[in-house]
Amino acid sequence: MAKMLARLDDKERRRRPSDEELVARARELSVRYLDGRARPSSVRWSSNQGRRWGSCTLVDGSIRISTRVQGMPAWVLDYVLLHELAHLLHAGHGPDFWKLLDGYPRTDRARGFLEGVSFFQDGGSMGDPAQDD
């Protein structure tokens, strides 16, 4: 069993991009879906995001992605990155914000995926969804 878990750990590790790869991915996503307008000063993994999947600091343009996203499918990570990149252009969660994400075809699917993860990780409680800012 321990061996199997160790093997799983190896597999998971390969699916976890480094901070440098995170920066490169964010740049690609910004160019592809936001006309390159979102230019974060830094993008890095963070283990103290609480229940948030990611956050951004508008004053310095930095983005942090929760280490809880590590090991999730690439299209979920892309959504979380794109969500925070869009916040650099629009702070709230109004229609103008979601319009920025229109071009990303898996927004709804990724949101559903993350809601499902929250549901199970938070002991199956609904009505207090994990924050995503």
If binding is defined by CB under 5 A, does position 133 make contact with Zn ion?
Answer: yes
Per-residue tokens: 20: 């440098």
User: Who's near 44: CB < 8 A, 6+ residues apart?
Assistant: 19, 22, 23, 62, 63, 64, 65
Which range in 7-15, 23-31, 115-123, 125-133 contacts Zn ion by CB under 5 A? Answer: 125-133
Q: Which residues contact 31 (CB under 8 A, 6 or more apart)?
A: none
Q: Which is nearer to Zn ion, 20 or 115 (CB)?
A: 115
Alpha helices by DSSP H, the chain: 2-14, 19-33, 74-89, 95-100, 107-121
CB of 133 to Zn ion, least distance (A): 4
Nearer to Zn ion, 13 or 93 (CB): 93
* Residue in 65, 68, 118, 132 binding Zn ion, rule: CB under 5 A: 132
Considering only the stretches 14-22, 29-37, 102-110, 124-132, report the one whose residues sit in contact with Zn ion under the rule CB under 5 A.
Answer: 124-132
8 Å CB contact between 56 and 88: yes
Between 22 and 84, CB nearer to Zn ion? 84
We find the least distance from the C-beta atom of residue 93 to Zn ion, in angstroms, to be 6
- What CA–CA distance (Å, rounded) separates 104 from 80? 11
Residues that bind Zn ion (CB under 5 A): 132-133
